[in-house]
Structures are given as C-alpha cells and as structure tokens.
Amino acid sequence: MQCPMCRAPDSRVVDSRLGKDGDAIRRRRHCDGCGHRFTTYERVELTLPMVVKKDGRRQPFVRAKIVSGLTRACEKRPVSTDTIEALATRIERQMMERGESEVASREIGEALMATLHDLDAVAYVRFASVYREFRDVHEFMRELEDLIATRGSTPPRGKSGRSAGRPRSRSRA
Ligand SMILES: [Zn+2]
C-alpha cells in the first residue's frame, strides 16, 4: 500500500488484528522510505477457511470439533467450560485473522497444542499423544521431558533463548 506521506509505493505491515466486531482487519503499516507509520482498516468476509486434511480432502471449519477436542483433553482437569469456549473462540479468531481461504488441519492442531501447553500440562500431554500419534513410548517420553524442561526451574539445554511455554512445531504433515 502506498505511503500517504512520501508516496512510496510500498509499506510494510507490522501488525494485523481483527477488529472487535470481527468484520474488519486493522493493520499497522510502516513506510521504510520515510519511517511514517499509519493504520488501515480492511473489511473482511466473515468466513472461516476450509480445513485441508492430511489426505488432501477439504472440510468446513467446525467450531464444535475444536470444543470437543479441548473438552476431551481437559476431562477431569480443573478447566471450566467457559475457559474451553474462550479458547475455541481464540482459535477460531486466529484462523479468521489469517485471511486465507484454506488452512492445514496440522496448523489447527498446532494452535490447539500451543493453547493447551499454556493451560494445563496433563491436558496438553493427552492431546499431544493422540494428535501426534506417537510411534513409541520413547517419542512420548521425549515430549514429556521437553515439557518438564520448559516448566522446570532449569533452562532447557543451557540456552535461555528458547521461549518457554511454546511447543516446538515439529510438523509431520
Ligand atoms: Zn513514506
């Protein structure tokens, strides 16, 4: 988008978020030419992306599936229905904010895992064990060790650069 100050043809998007009503995306832009910062609002269609499954099939995004996945993972855990609903809304929003027509089911899975990782360790491991289809117990143990390391007092592998609270995105699409 053209810079309104210096008319340079390009500007960089530094932040995008969905507006409160969910019908506009607010973008903060930065002009590398003159350093001017400005905001644009883009209307969005309130449609969720189609979900592309591992085998290539497309399915509509169904919020209820997110809720049931989270509910299963959080069974008998101190997680309220309200919290689960709020998390499902957050995931739904994230998918809308991408503004793309399709999203890989893997990416939704990763978003769910990140959410659960921050919420409840047991729910996270439960979900991860089903979602990642651990091939053997060793793989499962490695994941557990990682989780303990990121939550423990000692920084993992002596490096402080790694952001705690986020699972590695080890995709296997
Ligand atoms: Zn400019």
pTM for the full predicted model: 0.55
Asked if pLDDT for residue 170 goes beyond 80, the answer is no
Number of domains in the chain: 2
Task: Write out the two tokens for 134.
Answer: 């651990």
Average pLDDT over residues 79-89: 91
Give whole-number Cα distances, 55 to 49, 106, 116, 165, in Å. Answer: 17, 11, 25, 30
3-state secondary structure of 4: coil
Q: How far is the CA of 40 from the centre of ligand 1 (A)?
A: 14
Expressed in angstroms and rounded, the spacing between residue 41 Cα and the centre of ligand 1 is 18
Please indicate, yes or no, if residue 26 is contained in any of the structural domains.
Answer: yes
Cα 27 to ligand 1 centroid, rounded to whole Å: 16
Residues 20 and 90 in one domain: no
| Domain that includes residue 39, residue range | 12-43
- 67 and 37 together in one domain: no
- Output the CA 37–ligand 1 centroid distance in Å: 8
Please say if the pLDDT value at position 160 is more than 80.
no
Q: What is d(CA 136, CA 134) in angstroms, rounded to the nearest whole number? A: 6
- Shared domain for 39 and 81, answered yes or no, is no
- The token pair that represents 131 in the structure block: 């979602």
In DSSP terms, 41 is beta-bridged to 26
Residue 161 lies in a domain: no
Please give the single-letter amino acid code of residue 108: I
Residue 26 CA, ligand 1 centroid: distance in Å: 19
Question: Residue 164 carries which DSSP code?
Answer: T
Cα 42 to ligand 1 centroid, rounded to whole Å: 20
Query: 30 C-alpha to center of ligand 1: Å?
Result: 8
Reported as a single tens digit per residue, the pLDDT across 117-145 is 888 888 888 888 777 665 556 666 676 67
**Model confidence pLDDT, tens digit, residues 92-117:** 888 888 878 899 988 888 888 888 88
Q: How far is the CA of 9 from the centre of ligand 1 (A)?
A: 8
- State which amino acid sits at residue 61: F
Write out the two tokens for 89.
């809304």
Both 84 and 124 in one domain: the answer is yes
The predicted structure's pLDDT at residue 106 = 84
Protein residues with C-beta less than 5 angstroms from the ion ligand 1: 3, 5-6, 8, 31, 33-34, 36
Q: How far apart are CA 167 and CA 74, in angstroms?
A: 18
Q: Hey, what are 9's tokens? A: 């043809």
171 pLDDT band (50/70/90 cuts)? Answer: very low
Q: What is the DSSP code string of 42-109?
A: EE----PPEEEPTTS-EEE--HHHHHHHHHHHTTTSS--HHHHHHHHHHHHHHHHHT--SEEEHHHHH
119 and 57 in a common domain: yes
Looking at the structure, do residues 32 and 73 belong to the same domain, yes or no?
A: no
Helix (H) or strand (E) holding 16: strand 12-18
